Amino acid sequence: MHVPVMLNECLEYLAIRPDGVYLDATCGLGGHTGAIANRLTTGFVIACDRDAESLARAQANLEQVDMTDPRRKRIRFHHLPFSLVGESLKAEGVPQLDGLLADLGVSRYQLTEGERGFSLMSDGPLDMRMDRSQGRTAADIVNYEPEKQLADLIFQLGEERRSRRIARAIVRARPISTTGHLAKLIENAVPRTGKIHPATQTFMALRIAVNEEREELDVLLAALPSLVKPGGRIVVLTFMSLEDRVVKHAFQAMERLGEARILTKHVVRPTEEEIGVNAPSRSAKLRAIEMKDEHLP
Ligand SMILES: C[S@@+](CC[C@H](N)C(=O)[O-])C[C@H]1O[C@@H](n2cnc3c(N)ncnc32)[C@H](O)[C@@H]1O
């Protein structure tokens, strides 16, 4: 089970109106979605995820939330990448949202299911696609990308300084089809420093590339002024410094243009208490903004 990260802080910054329409751009197993829905009366939440398996689990987890009034669905599930959320708004007949939440990255469920290929801890096929119905897999990248491009990808997306040595070892070991094989060959190529597995950053880089996570985030951030109405709130949770920087700069640019007001002057981090009970929350960073009416001073 994925424990929703910084749930109270997300709800506080979203300042939910019971009659509002909200979008959870990354529904996952539905932790945040359910908590938002529970605060709604006549409003509803559009719950998106590009991972069909996660969405099916969320639907099962959240069945209870909609049991109270079967005539009115407070949660509307949409299987799509968040770069295309405009389509789900259209399908629901919603011109603009009262709030939007994006809890980026992968869930515990995705990470711990070996067969999804995200984890270097449990062996499985080298897949890493959040949406298993499309796109290239991590195996396609490690087996077919030229060595130079592979090294650049590992360096840029994984911030891995030993990227050239890793890329060389990968190319020599081809073909590679499992996470276990990839993790082992990287461990043999570069020495372990500290507690972190030497393949951690390479796995992260591959995951970001496979799911085009940078491109997805750029499209979502650029669409915010058209998706969310004046007075509406946007909350973004990130788990990687690169991603947090992108969000921070996008929010600052929106404030400069008079489109939004930054609500989190400094990035908000989980409490020690939360980290104590949910270790994966330790790297979370929360940023929030409120959309402004461009025509008002
Ligand atoms: C950290 S988890 C969200 C967990 C969720 N808040 C919960 O409480 O269960 C991130 C989720 O976002 C989804 N995701 C990541 N990038 C996405 C994208 N570009 N479009 C749609 N969903 C995405 C992943 O499939 C994953 O289920």
Q: What is the pLDDT of residues 255-264, one digit of tens each?
A: 999 999 999 9
Range in 32-36, 70-74, 179-183, 193-197 the model is least confident about? 70-74
Determine the pLDDT at residue 71: 55
For ligand 1, mutation pick of 32, 46, 50 (most atoms within 8 Å of CB):
50
44 and 191 both lie in a single domain: no
Q: Is the pLDDT of residue 68 over 70?
A: no
> Token digits for 34?
């359910």
What order do you get walking across the sheet with 228-238 strand by strand? 75-79, 44-49, 21-24, 97-103, 228-238, 285-291, 260-262
12 and 101 both lie in a single domain: yes
Does residue 118 lie in a domain region? no
Determine the pLDDT at residue 64: 80
Number of domains in the chain: 2
Determine the pLDDT at residue 295: 58
CB of 232 closer than 6 A to ligand 1? no
Q: Is the pLDDT of residue 277 over 60?
A: yes
Q: Is the pLDDT of residue 97 over 70?
A: yes
Q: What is the pLDDT confidence band of residue 134, given thresholds at 50, 70 and 90?
A: confident
171 and 262 both lie in a single domain: no
183 and 242 both lie in a single domain: no
Q: How far is the CA of 30 from the centre of ligand 1 (A)?
A: 9
The ligand 1 atom at the shortest distance from the C-alpha of residue 239 is 1
CB of 32 closer than 6 A to ligand 1? yes
Please give the residue range of the domain that contains residue 250.
7-108+213-291
Tokens 């989980």 belong to residue = 270
CB of 103 closer than 6 A to ligand 1? yes
151 and 237 both lie in a single domain: no
The ligand 1 atom at the shortest distance from the C-alpha of residue 54 is 27
Q: Is the pLDDT of residue 125 over 80?
A: yes
% of the chain exceeding 70 in pLDDT: 96
Q: Is the pLDDT of residue 70 over 60?
A: no
Q: How far is the CA of 110 from the centre of ligand 1 (A)?
A: 10
CB of 216 closer than 6 A to ligand 1? yes
Q: Among residues 169, 185, 210, which one ends one of the domains?
A: 210
| Domain CATH code at residue 101 | 3.40.50.150
Q: What is the pLDDT confidence band of residue 39, given thresholds at 50, 70 and 90?
A: very high
Determine the pLDDT at residue 193: 82
Angle of helix 147-158 relative to helix 200-210, nearest 10 degrees, comes to 100
C-alpha closest to that of 135 among 220, 37, 212, 249? 212
Going through the chain in order, the beta strands assigned E by DSSP cover 21-24, 44-49, 75-79, 97-103, 228-238, 260-262, 285-291
Does residue 217 lie in a domain region? yes
Residue nearest to atom 12 of ligand 1 (CA): 26
Q: Is the pLDDT of residue 293 over 90?
A: no
- Can you tell me the distance from the alpha carbon of 146 to that of 136, in angstroms, rounded to the nearest whole number? 15
